[in-house]
Structure 1
């Protein structure tokens, strides 16, 4: 069955660029690969890291409190601060995609440099090779979607960072790309009073899928019942406080197709409708320059859904972008030219706080 899916997948990408074909094959293999107990993890080849911004770059790990105890490695960026400055700072939780490490994700997105300019801390949890040989987060796992598994470890990790550093508890944000974006959504939905807003780049829609094969189907076609998980959540938690979100997708993404973003927008509209007045009709804006040769080059369309003056949902569609972080460092995989996704997310996050 898996071999057949692989053949169908690679065949459907013949018209795409060769570089994206290679990336697509790697991502599909990563998602459909099941870790074997006898397989020894192979560490990825080290990549050259460019000089980073001024700040502290910490490498550590966190052990969960549940049984059995689980250890997860992480990277933490703390910006340099003026002596004697006691104000607490916001925290962004960045969740990488398949075939990425925490360090690669930080370097590729340039998020540390952006965060340093705004005085933000950035936490990068890292999926272990023992949990998945391609470092994929299992966002489709039932326990994970209930807030267990890796989500429980990440939530515990955030608590540890908040206790050890001067973090503003009302300004903690979660974002990621691909499988990491799906995890960011689950983290936000299972800990809505911890996370103030969520950012999702190239993300699959939250669905009832519970297998890797089902996850592949969602990535390609979306969910047949996209609102069901949200309706179930609101029935269980009628006092859900809402969740502001910024969604970013590439119109040429052949791995997680744009239909997922349309369904994600419906999910977040339902979530925020339960906590605020009905969002107003979207305000659509177009950015970028075009030419006769490249009629869609470097353009993006933004749809804002607001309640009053507060934007609860921002949906960004970027032209000519495949499955990659827009505006990232192209020397790292899954990063491409385009509007800077990191800047877009930081600008959105700065407008939202969680009431404590």
Structure 2
């Protein structure tokens, strides 16, 4: 049966309006000025509600904020050295978590592992640390955690500029992040063979760029809901990548990296993606898989294993989405781990849902990343 032309046109207009609303929302998140906070209103005194027996109920229970991890939480910044005759450049603020747990024998000899975590748009470094609960897990394992923070002067939404060609080629914020890592590694006993970098969304895109331009620094990289590398190059282009991936640039972008660095070492990578993510759509993960295979020069007979975990019981205290994990191994070395999480939208899996961009339901993305990183060490 052929639909009347008017019905078809109405459907087309509806689809166009949906796409326009999506584009507008992404543009506001990425590039618009921060929303003004509403003026505070005087609080009304709460009136106790009556219970089923007519007796007044007490005040509503307030969720207790989790106690911070017991280690040191330090604030600092990295500022590049100024050449004679030049003006000072931008500074990069950062936070550093140093665990309270005593180092084991290996750490006393070689230093602590260091995890570098890059937040997403509209997040601060402290919010990212709290939402992911990464410091608590790092405390148990004895890891130090570095949280660089994008400045509001550089971007009104604290977005890392992963979409700029200059940044993708190793300029922009890349040198600031690398400088902060070097500064921390010089000031504290850090195991330079066990430095890892990860992030979410724009932070994931930036973490990937830093690792691709400085692969000798990192033992592994972890990307949660990240855009594919090498495309965008404009504001509209960035939105297109987030929704549709890097059409025509998936392979060539990696080939350009390999042309600049013919001796590019193995770069073990973990990719985590929500299958219901409408901000950075799953096509990006599919293309990131292809890029990881290419950058690691995996042969056609690479061993790929798959495992799936079912969702948790409905209404349980620890809800969990179902998810699948695919491992890519070459010669016994785990080079790529791909986690696809059902029903997860654009949020850190298993995070503190009282904060934006965090989903309560597991699996715990922080634990997934640390478990993967624990298997990786840079060979010099």
If the length of structure 2 is used for normalisation, what is the TM-score?
0.80
Q: Cα offset for 1:11?
A: 2.2
2:310 aligned to which of 276, 282, 288: 288
Structure 2: 5+ residue runs without aligned partners?
Answer: 1-13, 41-63
Is the 8 Å Cα contact of residues 225 and 273 (structure 2) preserved in structure 1?
yes
Paired with 1:278 and 1:152, the residues of 2 have a C-alpha distance of 35
If asked which structure has higher relative contact order (CA below 8 Å, sep 6+), I would say 1
Q: Cα offset for 1:12?
A: 4.3
- The aligned counterpart of 2:18 is 11
Q: Cα offset for 1:152?
A: 0.5
Q: Cα offset for 1:278?
A: 5.2
Deviations 1:86-121 (A, max 9, x none): 341100000000000000000000000010010000
SS in structure 2 of the partner of residue 105 of structure 1: helix
Q: Max radius of gyration: which structure?
A: 2
2:271 aligned to which of 238, 247, 250: 247
Change (3 A) 1:214 1:83: closer
2:78 aligned to which of 62, 65, 68: 62
Root-mean-square deviation (CA, aligned residues, Å) is: 2.9
- The aligned counterpart of 1:155 is 178
Q: Cα offset for 1:51?
A: 2.1
Structure 1: 5+ residue runs without aligned partners?
Answer: 1-6, 15-20, 36-40
Change (3 A) 1:126 1:49: farther
Q: Cα offset for 1:282?
A: 1.8
Superposition map of 1:89-100 within 5 A: 89-100=112-123
SS in structure 1 of the partner of residue 296 of structure 2: helix
Asked if 1:110 corresponds to 2:126, the answer is: no
Deviations 1:99-144 (A, max 9, x none): 0000000000000001001000000000000111110110011221
Paired with 2:256 and 2:104, the residues of 1 have a C-alpha distance of 47
SS in structure 2 of the partner of residue 220 of structure 1: helix
Asked if 1:183 corresponds to 2:203, the answer is: no
Deviations 1:251-304 (A, max 9, x none): 00000000000000000001111xx655624211101246799xx962001111
- The aligned counterpart of 1:73 is 93
1:131 aligned to which of 154, 158, 168: 154
Is the 8 Å Cα contact of residues 321 and 338 (structure 1) preserved in structure 2?
no
Is the 8 Å Cα contact of residues 115 and 196 (structure 2) preserved in structure 1?
yes
Paired with 1:212 and 1:351, the residues of 2 have a C-alpha distance of 37
Q: Cα offset for 1:148?
A: 1.3
